[in-house]
Amino acid sequence: MRRIAFCVFCVFCGLKTAATVDILSIQNLKVWFPIRKGILNRVVGYVRAVDGVSLQVAPGETLALVGESGCGKTTLGRAILGLVPVTSGEIAFEGRSLEGLSSRELRKLRRHCQMVFQDPFSSLNPRMTILDILTEAMVYHGLVPAAKREEAAISLLAEVGLGPDVLHRYPHEFSGGQRQRISIARALSLQPSFLICDEPVSALDVSVQAQVINLLMDLREKRHLAYLFISHDLSVVRLIAQRIAVMYLGRIVETGPAKEVMESPLHPYTQALLAAVPKPGRPRGEMRPLEGEQPSPANPPAGCPFHPRCPHATPECARECPSLQGFSHQVACLHIQTPTQRTNP
């Protein structure tokens, strides 16, 4: 009886722990690239690509990371996988910090965290057949024996809507949408629980974008996957995301449930991004594209990083850098502009 009671207690605790631990947790992450000049190659400054980002992703959740080009979205995704060095901060996967792990331990963890890249052509080896692309990592990690790799590849292709006739062909023989399906199948080959999707549909036609988005949503439900979905297309984000984090100049300026952020944005930057999205029936005069250029991450402005472009900026914004505050969702702004308080710039 003691053994049975102990087992039931362990199972209950295990389920409770799995439900409460975030699959990914990032605390104050910084990725700074040194700027070197002169004969002695001295460091004269830093490009602050990611500057103090904190994020959490729950199991089975899709967190969308949105912002202008150059704001640090892709660098953040690559830093999570260890593809670029981290300056400071902590990354934890399933409650386990990645800092100080040996190469063998990191290799085991990386199997559960994969990435789908933006360009489906350059991310596939042109000298390898689809069979080799899909099964190389599976054989290396011992998930399938070499004798059964063709059977495993056919099963993966079926999940992404491709037939077995593509196994012995090369990447250049496929369209962009087909190549992205192959990239997704390769990411699934190691049976991950978390996928980083770095603008996976931006290089595809609109009709193909819808097919790939539907595929990712189906796979999320079938495999209980969690996504960090990096994109600048807010119409795509609206379809797939459950939460949204808005990034500007290496920082998170607004985050919250997708519906709240899309329908009631509080940060002026988020409001400007949504105002620039064309909508059927909206008069052209109501579209307010964001004015000015994004400052250089090598020389960010003092105070709030958005204040040089903000229509509501005050002298206080140039002196103080706001942190995320909890309203209906979290916003980093000294002067919150709710939908009823907004004024035309």
Per DSSP bridges, beta strands 243-248 and 226-231 are unpaired
Q: How confident is the model over 77-130, as pLDDT tens digits?
A: 999 998 999 999 999 998 889 888 888 888 888 889 999 998 888 899 999 999
Residue 247 phi, psi dihedral angles, 5° rounding: -115, 135
Terminal Cα distance for the chain, rounded: 72
Give me the torsion for CA of 44, 50, 52, 58, rounded to 10°.
-160
CA 128/CA 113 separation, integer angstroms: 23
Q: If the chain, 345 residues long, is cut into consecutive pieces of 10 residues, what is the mean pLDDT of each piece?
A: 38 42 94 93 94 94 93 94 93 89 84 91 92 93 90 95 94 92 94 94 86 94 95 88 95 94 91 80 62 86 91 90 84 73 45
Cβ-contact 274, 262 below 8 angstroms:
yes
Task: Please state the pTM of the whole predicted model.
Answer: 0.87
Copy the structure tokens of residue 262: 């899309």
Q: Which amino acid is at 224?
A: H
Quote the percentage of the chain above a pLDDT of 90: 61
Q: How confident is the model over 182-200, as pLDDT tens digits?
A: 999 999 999 999 999 999 9
* b/e burial code for range 207-221 (CB count within 10 A of at least 16 → b): ebbebbbebbeebbe
Burial label for 288, CB within 10 Å (0-12, 13-18, 19+), is: middle
User: How many CB atoms are located within 10 Å of the residue 7 CB?
Assistant: 10
Cβ-contact 294, 288 below 8 angstroms:
no
**pLDDT for the residue numbered 184:** 95
Copy the structure tokens of residue 91: 């990354």
Orientation of helix 206-223 relative to helix 176-188, angle to 10° = 20
Residue 200 makes CB contacts below 8 A (sequence gap 6+) with 116, 117, 118, 180, 183, 184, 212, 216, 229
Which whole-number Å values give the CA distances from 187 to 75, 193, 206, 248, in the listed order? 19, 10, 23, 28
